[in-house]
Amino acid sequence: MLRHGLRKLCPLDIEQFLPPQIRGGLKLTFLAMGNSFCNTLEIPPPKGPNSAGCTDFMMDNTEQGSFFRLYYPCQRIDKAEMPDWIPCREYFNGLADFLKINRTFSERIFNCLFGSFKIPAYSDAPFKSNEKCPVIIFSHGLGAFRTLYSAICTELASQGFIVAAVEHRDQSASATYLLRQKSKLETANKDSSKTSLTDTLVREWMYYRSLQRGEQEFPLRNQQVQQRAAECVRALHKLTDINSGVPVQNVLHTQFDWKTLENSMDLGRVAMMGHSFGGGTAIEALAKETKFKCAVVLDAWMFPLKDETFPQVNQPIFFVNSEKFQWAENIKRIKKLDSSDVERKMMTIRGTVHQSFPDFTFLTGDFIGKLMKLKGDLDPEIGLDLSNKASLAFLQRHLGLRKDFNQWDRLIEGDDENLIPGTNVTLLQSAI
């Protein structure tokens, strides 16, 4: 069961029918061929009344720092650019390692496939909002990183939320990095009078940690989910400082003016959100921090959580599932969070797969997307639109927002031809 469940978490879901030395290469070649005929692929732009901006924040140059991409309502300016979806080549290397394929080959294919895609948000654009913004901390899935859920995060920003998409440093991301001070030897050839802070720092990359032979999985995953939840709480604390006007040093030195966020956030209205391993992280974060008023959990992977965590979670949770991912044992663990005291809701989106939530689902053609299990039978824009609208309705209900998101309350109940109330999984069956 565990191997089956974990296998579904892979972004490109490599099948096991081919020899490993050619499996990934052939798959990526087919993917590239499929995308070569699809020139109109893009991450869909957000639909809310605001333009969406984004910037990156790194608190310091250690593992104990905080690293996230911030999405926010912004003022649109003509010179603002949209950032690359994949920030740099090392993230391609991380995806290759996670998929167990050759880096050199995959970097070329990944760059051909995804190198030209942009996130539908304006990089470092000025913050603009007519009211204080509720806050969401977003946690990515296994093998992902901070930019891969931009369709969800930009939509939330366009609807008036400030969203911090954390890039986790527990070695569950396919790639991430720290900044360390260069050695004296590395800076010896630099003119010290012209050396800035950026010149004295170098990226130190951290890649996905595979399970070692003979290693038990639960201790590793539970340790990771604990660290992930702590990183989410830390991101909230950093936003709290920024909101209070506490001076912050962003070691990435973006052009964004962080002072404009002072007194901009409604920190009485804060929620968690996450996909897969990030869904489990969201639940763990609710147990650790009561300032999170509720959570929206997308296709949760429940394995990393201890049973003792469940009674510590007292906030409302909305589980949004794909039709093809969930299995009986995982649903049984979700059901342990059922409560008569707080609202715990679940719905399932017909014709969707586990990868219907990350951006990959929009960036491959229909045939190849289904072959690679990045797309389900339902149009991905319809599926994500249902998920976003139902999530907004749930957030309004439990954050006390004065919006019109309650027009989508029926979706929380699964009232749509493309939705299933609760789950499509029969709990009497044995775990797959």
pLDDT tens-place string over residues 139-157: 999 999 999 999 999 999 9
Residue 116 pLDDT level (bands cut at 50, 70, 90): confident
Residue 369 pLDDT level (bands cut at 50, 70, 90): confident
Tell me if residue 191 is catalytic: no
Those residues with Cβ within 8 angstroms of residue 427's Cβ, 6 or more apart along the chain or in another chain: 328, 331, 332, 335
Res 35: pLDDT = 57
Of residues 221 and 431, more confidence is placed in 221
Place of tokens 């639909």: 47
Residues belonging to the chain: 432
Q: Is the pLDDT of residue 1 over 50?
A: no
Of residues 429 and 87, more confidence is placed in 87
Those residues with Cβ within 8 angstroms of residue 162's Cβ, 6 or more apart along the chain or in another chain: 70, 71, 72, 73, 133, 134, 135, 136, 239, 261, 264, 265
Among residues 95, 139, 121, the alpha carbon closest in space to that of 288 is found at 139
* CA angle, residues 169, 185, 179, in degrees to nearest 5: 15
Q: Is the pLDDT of residue 223 over 60?
A: yes
Those residues with Cβ within 8 angstroms of residue 340's Cβ, 6 or more apart along the chain or in another chain: none
Of residues 37 and 295, more confidence is placed in 295
Pairing of strands 162-166, 67-74: antiparallel
Round to whole Å and give the CA distance between 57 and 238.
Answer: 10
Q: Is the pLDDT of residue 20 over 90?
A: no
Those residues with Cβ within 8 angstroms of residue 17's Cβ, 6 or more apart along the chain or in another chain: 23
Res 34: pLDDT = 53
The pair of three-digit structure tokens given for residue 347, joined into one six-digit string: 């719905």
- Averaged pLDDT for residues 391-412: 98
Kindly report which listed range (184-193, 214-223, 374-383) carries the lowest average pLDDT score. Answer: 184-193
Record the pTM.
0.89
- Averaged pLDDT for residues 290-301: 98
pLDDT tens-place string over residues 224-267: 999 999 999 999 999 999 999 998 889 898 999 999 999 999 99
φ, ψ of residue 18 in degrees (nearest 5)? -110, 155
Distances (CA, A) of 308 to 32, 221, 327, 341: 45, 15, 22, 18
DSSP string, 134-179: EEEEEE--TT--TTTTHHHHHHHHHTT-EEEEE---SS-SSEEEEE
Q: Is the pLDDT of residue 392 over 80?
A: yes
Catalytic residue among 354, 356, 387, 391: 354
Kindly report which listed range (71-80, 301-310, 342-351) carries the lowest average pLDDT score. Answer: 71-80
Tell me if residue 276 is catalytic: yes
Res 87: pLDDT = 94
In angstroms, how far is the first alpha carbon of the chain from the final one? 5
Res 3: pLDDT = 36
Residue 77 pLDDT level (bands cut at 50, 70, 90): confident
Among residues 55, 49, 50, the alpha carbon closest in space to that of 73 is found at 50
Q: Is the pLDDT of residue 427 over 90?
A: no
Those residues with Cβ within 8 angstroms of residue 196's Cβ, 6 or more apart along the chain or in another chain: none
The pair of three-digit structure tokens given for residue 22, joined into one six-digit string: 């050619």
Catalytic residue among 276, 356, 387, 391: 276
Round to whole Å and give the CA distance between 181 and 185.
Answer: 11
pLDDT tens-place string over residues 78-108: 778 999 999 999 999 999 889 888 888 777 7
- The CATH class given to the 2-183+202-421 domain equals alpha beta
| Beta-sheet strand order (sheet of 265-275) | 122-123, 51-58, 67-74, 162-166, 133-139, 265-275, 294-298, 317-322, 344-349, 419-421
Catalytic residue among 56, 97, 266, 299: 299
Residue 383 pLDDT level (bands cut at 50, 70, 90): very high
- Averaged pLDDT for residues 275-287: 98
- Averaged pLDDT for residues 258-278: 97
Q: Is the pLDDT of residue 16 over 60?
A: no
Tell me if residue 237 is catalytic: no
pLDDT tens-place string over residues 157-202: 999 999 999 999 999 999 999 988 776 666 555 544 333 445 678 8
Domain ranges of the chain: 2-183+202-421
